[in-house]
Structure 1
Amino acid sequence: MKTSYTIEEINAVLQGELIGHTAENITGPEQLENANNNQITFIGSAKYVKLWADSKACAVVVNDNLKIEADDTRAIIKVKNADLAMAKILELFNPPAPVFDTDIHPTAVIHESAKIGNGCKIGPNCYVGKDVELGNGVILYPNVCIFDETSIGDNTTIWSGTVIRERCIIGSHCIFHTNVSIGADGFGYHPSDDGRGLVKIPQIGNVIIGHFVEIGANSCVDRAKFSSTIIGDGCKIDNLVQIAHNSIMGRACIMAGHSGLAGSVTLGDGVIIGGSASIKDHTKIGSGATVGAGSGVVGDIKPGQTVLGYPAQDARDMLKQWVAVRRMVKK
């Protein structure tokens, strides 16, 4: 892996407009305030432009609609979107993944009926159950458990501590970070006839996860009571997220940390759920809708709508209410 790049090499990747020059070899990206003279930084908002003057970074990637001055020793690369450009730079400096000394560790327990694809890597103390199918290039880091009759698509990476329960179907090119739980029982109980306890409702369904899905550490996707809990292609789920039984997420949805879906919630395509937001059971959220951080959704949301607050309301209406309350307090 290459450890440093010239500004010209970096711009060859970004295909931006290079202004000025730096002779420094760039050893990595860093925030404006923390960068040293061998690092490149980025500015994606006008409010950060003023920090450039005092930054020690030798180069900056900046949105092309922002005005920023070059000098004799520092370079500027103007691009359409600095955030996306920085993602490309981070990829250049991304350290390699942990090394497997052997493709399948001798302490891994793999049932004789399991089908293991070409190029799979299975770490120490993993468990692969009866009739499991792993596609080509699947990586199981140490202490992963894959239970019976589960299938996992090509080039999916599963980090340590993750448990995938029986009969789940996982797509290709997914990433599950540490301690993810897929297919645990949904939360189903009913008061007993005698009123002295709770009866557990069996959860006999499964979880289906599409392609290119990423799930953050310590998140949970519960199996359905019957049928399937479904996560659509391209969904990105943060750490500490709860997705309850029989929920359905469309394609390319985003859920930020500490948010949660109760049972049988349906999300359209491209829905964004902010951090710590909670969605009531049997709610439908239309494609392209956004739920603000900390909001509590108790009713259906139209496609493209943005809601805020608890209970969540149209963002414009909620902002007006907040302004009115502040005025009342000041009086």
Structure 2
Amino acid sequence: MKSLTVQDINAIINGDIVGQANLEITGLEHIQKANQHQATFIGNRKYAAMWNDSNAALAIVNDTISLEPGENRVLIKVKNADLAMAKLLDAFTPEPPHFESDIHPTAVIDASAKLGEGTKVGAGCYIGKDVVIGNGVVLYPNVTILDDTTIGDHTTVWSGTVIRERSVIGSYCIFHTNVSIGADGFGYRPSDDGRGLVKIPHIGNVVIGNGVEIGANTCVDRAKFSSTIIGDGCKIDNLVQIAHNCVLGRSCIMAGSSGLAGSVTLGDGVVIGGSASIKDHTTIHSGATIGAGSGVMNDVPAGKTVLGYPATDSREMLKQWVALRKLAR
């Protein structure tokens, strides 16, 4: 079990200590569940009232919140408790799953594949022809990397993920369990005789930048031609669909169960809420926000927040909802 003193913790988050400082902290927990050896976080005034009844030994608190530590307890006041929490969670993160050997004997690796220094390959992995993997990459058990794919340094790929042929993956990425990269896009047209559907081949690939994190069971389809592109620093939640020929700029966020139809373009820093749906061939410009559950049918200007189905300016949509409630009365 990891243990840090209050001084150790403050060295990480660089706040101001208020109260007793000679305590040992063994973990982090919600304010209502924490015990006398754990730390908690108060980043919102509505949780401040819970401090008196909490058993936590330490609270990391926004410096805008007025609070006293109490007997045998301590506060560390910081500018942003959420960011401080992220740093401490990293410090208390348990060790990752153990590899008995760097390359498990049951892994199947084509003779033409190239693996960088310090790369680890778990049981049951398959690495195909002419795959190039950088330094310090970790492939957990039962990962499949198909032919002509390249993966940059220090990328982590969790079990069950399949990265299809010709994909280009950057450095410092994280793909969680059962991610699908580079499957066929969804494209069909009615046959000439009108009696069936003709499958449209997708011969492009997927290109993913550096520092991208993709959640469990998310799918990124390859392009019809050219590339489906995920820009540097994008963070994609679980159960997200990114269709063929989509292009995401830098540092976009997509929350769970949201989806992009084919050939959607996102600028830099776009935020898409959970379960939002984006129509094909739509452009959402840099800094725009799409509210959860929204359906976007048209382009969204830079910096705009839209909401609803079909999505419109958030302020206008909120006015409509208020008017509907008044009509219901």
Contact 1:22 1:59 in 2 (8 A): no
**Partner-residue secondary structure (3-state), 1:324:** helix
Look up the match of 1:209.
208
Look up the match of 2:136.
137
Q: Which deviates more from structure 2 when the two are superposed, residues 46-55 or residues 262-271?
A: 46-55
- Partner Cα distance (2:2, 2:69) in 1: 25
Look up the match of 2:221.
222
Look up the match of 1:328.
327
- Partner Cα distance (2:34, 2:199) in 1: 55
Q: Deviation of residue 5 (structure 1)?
A: 1.3
Post-superposition CA distance 1:48-105 (Å, at most 9, x none)? 1111111110110011111112212111111011001011111111001111111111
Contact 2:158 2:178 in 1 (8 A): yes
- Pairs within 5 Å for 1:308-323: 308-323=307-322
Look up the match of 2:102.
103
Look up the match of 1:183.
182
**Partner-residue secondary structure (3-state), 2:59:** strand
**Partner-residue secondary structure (3-state), 2:4:** coil
Contact 1:35 1:55 in 2 (8 A): yes
**What is the letter of the counterpart of residue 103 of structure 2?**
I
**What is the letter of the counterpart of residue 155 of structure 2?**
T
Look up the match of 1:245.
244
Look up the match of 1:164.
163
- Partner Cα distance (2:291, 2:50) in 1: 29
Q: Deviation of residue 198 (structure 1)?
A: 0.2
Look up the match of 2:40.
41
**What is the letter of the counterpart of residue 318 of structure 1?**
M
Q: Deviation of residue 23 (structure 1)?
A: 4.2
Q: Deviation of residue 3 (structure 1)?
A: 1.2
- Partner Cα distance (1:315, 1:241) in 2: 23
Contact 1:244 1:262 in 2 (8 A): yes
Look up the match of 1:6.
5
**Partner-residue secondary structure (3-state), 2:211:** coil
Look up the match of 1:76.
75
**Partner-residue secondary structure (3-state), 2:238:** coil
Post-superposition CA distance 1:11-47 (Å, at most 9, x none)? 1111101100154421111001111111100011111
Post-superposition CA distance 1:192-245 (Å, at most 9, x none)? 000000000000000000000000000000000000000000000000000000
Contact 1:22 1:58 in 2 (8 A): no
**What is the letter of the counterpart of residue 162 of structure 2?**
V
- Pairs within 5 Å for 1:145-156: 145-156=144-155
For the aligned residue pairs, the C-alpha RMSD in angstroms reads 0.8
Look up the match of 2:305.
306
Q: Deviation of residue 249 (structure 1)?
A: 0.3
Contact 1:23 1:73 in 2 (8 A): no
- Partner Cα distance (1:322, 1:69) in 2: 42
- Unaligned 5+ segments in structure 2 are none
- Partner Cα distance (1:180, 1:15) in 2: 37
- Pairs within 5 Å for 1:82-97: 82-97=81-96
For the pair 1:232 / 2:231, whether they are aligned, the reply is: yes
Q: TM-score, normalised by structure 2?
A: 0.99
**Partner-residue secondary structure (3-state), 2:8:** helix
**Partner-residue secondary structure (3-state), 1:319:** helix
Look up the match of 1:128.
127
Q: Deviation of residue 117 (structure 1)?
A: 0.7
- Partner Cα distance (1:130, 1:110) in 2: 8
Q: Deviation of residue 127 (structure 1)?
A: 0.5
Contact 2:7 2:21 in 1 (8 A): no
Count of matched residue positions in the alignment of Structure 1 and Structure 2: 329
Look up the match of 2:294.
295
Contact 1:28 1:38 in 2 (8 A): yes
**What is the letter of the counterpart of residue 285 of structure 1?**
I
Q: TM-score, normalised by structure 1?
A: 0.98
